[in-house]
Amino acid sequence: MSRHLEPRGRRVKVLATLGPASASEAMIARLHEAGADAFRVNMSHGSHEGQAALIQAVRSVEKANGRPIAILADLQGPKLRVGRIAGGSAELVKGAAFRLDRQTAPGDATRACLPHKEIFAALRPGARLLVDDGKIVLRAQSVSADAIDCVVEVPGTIKDNKGVNVPDVVVPLPALTVKDRADLAFALDCGVDWIALSFVQRPEDVAEARRLIGGRAALLAKIEKPAALERLDEILELADAVMVARGDLGVELPPQAVPPAQKRIVATARMMGKPVVVATQMLESMITAPTPTRAEVSDVATAIYDGADAVMLSAESAAGQFPVEAVAMMDAIAAEVEADPGYQGRVHYTEIATGRSTASAITAAAADISRTIGARAIVCFTISGSTAGRAARERAAVPVLCLTPALATARRMGLVWGVHAVVTRDVGSFEEMVAKSKRMALRAHLAKGGDPLVLIAGVPFSTPGTTNVVHVVRLTGDELKNY
């Protein structure tokens, strides 16, 4: 039997970032074997040549294993940074005056260059500027077109080119820089499945990226700015998925505010039926240790209990000493959580908005029917993937077997909860649909003789967006003999 027909045995997906520790095809194969369903290529690091090699390596592993693999290209977004500091660094003292200006001369303990005129236009007295991931906190006292006079609230060592966050204002910067536009075009030409958009502040940022993508990949919006939280519903309406990007979010919000923000983002995405990824520092200690802390395991488990579609590894798999162990640990935590008898109750804590469409009603009914009759799987035929996505948002107690003739659709399912995607020829009749559903469920070991299946499809066949049929079938002894 082909290995690609065997599901993972868990519903949540594992997204692993590629980097120096995982750049070879052999290591990518090991990560995939350990449980990685999707791979993230960080466009902030490396050259296009190196990124293309990573993408090609993933595709080679995909071909060798026969299981569709999702690739996510993560755009860098605009980076706000101070300029050079004389001698490379300077000590800022608590309560001291400090000026940020647009002079290009090297800075010192009293001033530094901030070469971003947009910040000067947006900032108001009283706003904070966080330097070097919040290690230094400056409070603006007065603002002009060329200078921001601050007081040092949290002192520290300011160094060359360190990042600056301004959480209290919406900075009028586009989410897509010139570099991002070049990286986006390159990633699309390489055939990636998902584009992650960084520094999202407004729905307009998502709309612009969607226009440039032109349907060639799915779009994931990273929520890492307080401004994005304020317009979360509008952003989610336009995005295909969302990420709880706890890195910058944890800089711009007080640490204690991040868990409620995460809960809200996950719950809102669940309610709107959009896939949600929880990311950053999930198994951080595994960068240098072969086992995680108990707190990290609990953190990953909480995201899974809350119904996240995917959990992500960053430096753990990109640059850590134990990338395979980190992926295997994610896999093991997910399996343990989903085996908990209380998991199904917890994962349904959010009431989802089914909507008024026929397709939404059909998929909701399929989930209810599967619970009532004890079906072994929900089988859906889809070209665009929307039917499988709707079935996944119901968080049914059984796997969703997604049968599609479109390889791109099957790959995108690598970030969608509970969906096991198989590329197969499309069906042309109702009888063929029933026969293929039974055959594929048997091959995937999702069902055996006497087991019921719930089928979802659209008639006429091969027409996207026509989900209008739910049908129950039961496997018989004759089919087992033929199989």
SS3 category, 222: strand
Catalytic residue chosen out of the listed positions 30, 79, 81, 135 = 81
- Strand pairing class (13-18; 310-313): parallel
Catalytic residue chosen out of the listed positions 11, 40, 67, 412 = 40
Catalytic residue check, 40: yes
Q: Which pair of structure tokens corresponds to residue 118?
A: 């947009």
Give the whole-angstrom CA distance, residue 439 versus residue 331.
28
Q: Which pair of structure tokens corresponds to residue 114?
A: 């901030």
- H or E stretch at 71: strand 70-74
Read out DSSP for 345-392? Answer: HHHT-SPP---SSHHHHHHHHHHHHHHHHT-SEEEEE-SSSHHHHHHH
Q: Which residue has the tokens 């999202």?
A: 200
Residues 6+ apart with CB under 8 A from 246: 224, 258, 262, 278, 279, 280, 281
Catalytic residue check, 280: yes
Catalytic residue chosen out of the listed positions 111, 202, 210, 222 = 222
Bridge partners (DSSP) of residue 223 are 244
Give the whole-angstrom CA distance, residue 90 versus residue 96.
13
Sheet holding 419-423, edge to edge: 419-423, 400-404, 377-381, 452-458, 467-474
Catalytic residue chosen out of the listed positions 17, 268, 280, 404 = 280
Catalytic residue check, 67: no
Q: Which residues are catalytic?
A: 40, 81, 222, 280
